[in-house]
Amino acid sequence: MRSLLSALATLLLAAPLAGQDYHFTKAMSPGDRLMIENINGKVEVTQGSGRTAEITVAKTVKKGDGSLVKAIMESDGEGVRVCTIYLNQDRNRDSCKGEHNNSTKGQDKLEIDMHYVVSVPRGVRLSVDNVNGEVDARGLDATATIATVNGGLTFEGTSASSLSTVNGSIKATMTRGTWDGSMHVESVNGGIELFFPADLSATISGETVNGGIRSDDTFPITIQGKWGPKEFHGKIGSGSSKLTVESVNGAISIRKAGH
C-alpha cells in the first residue's frame, strides 16, 4: 500500500497542475485594433459574427508558482490589448508594458502555458505577438499582423500586412488576389507556403538562402531584374499589389488556393 501511495504521489507531482481560465469581452467597431501578446502557449483566432471580441485564456501550470503569471486586458490609444504578464518582479503589476521576466533569484524558472482562444469581430484589425507557441488564425476579414518566435504560423483571411516566425513554417491562404499596402512574409528556419485566388496580381520580391522559390502554372512569374537562388524580383498578373517573401532555411511556394 505504501509503495502504491508513493507511486500515486509521484504521478500527481509529474502531471501538469490545473490553472485557471480568464475570459475577456470588449465591444469593438470596424477599424478598431485587437492586440494579443502571449509568451508561452498557442494562440487560436477565428472570425466572430457579432460586434464583441471574446478572448479566453486557459492557464496550465507545469512548474513553479502559477500565481506569478496572469492575463490582463487594457485599452489605450492603439486599441484593445490582452496580454500575458509575469508578477515575479512586481506583484502589483497591472499593465502589459514592462519586462516579461519569468525567473527570479533563488526560484526555479516558471513553466506555465497560456492558451489563447480569440474571436474577432468583423472588420477589426488583428495583431498577434507570441514567443513560444504556434499561431492559428482563420477566417479573418480585415488586415492582420502576426508574429511568433518559436512555433509555426497558419493563416487564412483577406490579407495580412505581416506574417513572421523564426523557428517554424508558415502556411497562409489569402481569400483576395489584391490588397492595399504591402504584404511581408518571413521565416528564418522553416518553409513558406502561400495560397492565393486565381486573380492574384502582385509584384513579388524577396530572398532565400538555403531553399528556393517556385510558383505553379496558375501564377506564371514575369521576371523583373535579378532572379537567382538568393534574390528574386518578378510580377504575377498586372502586379498591382506588393508582396515580399523572405526565408533563410526553407523553400518558398506560391500556389493557387485549393491545389
Give the range among 1-10, 14-23, 128-137, 229-238 with minimum mean pLDDT: 1-10
Task: Provide the b/e sequence for 201-234 (b: ≥16 CB within 10 Å).
Answer: bbbbbbbbeebebebeeebebeeeeeeeeeebeb
pTM recorded for the entire structure? 0.88
pLDDT tens-digit series, residues 80-136: 999 999 988 788 888 998 766 555 444 467 899 999 999 999 999 999 999 999 999
Cα distance between residue 116 and residue 233, in whole Å:
38
Candidates 220, 175, 227; CA nearest to 205 is 227
Q: How many CA atoms within 13 Å lie on the side-chain side of 165?
A: 25
Per-residue pLDDT at 14 exceeds 50: no
Q: Which of the four pLDDT bands, split at 50, 70 and 90, describes residue 246?
A: very high
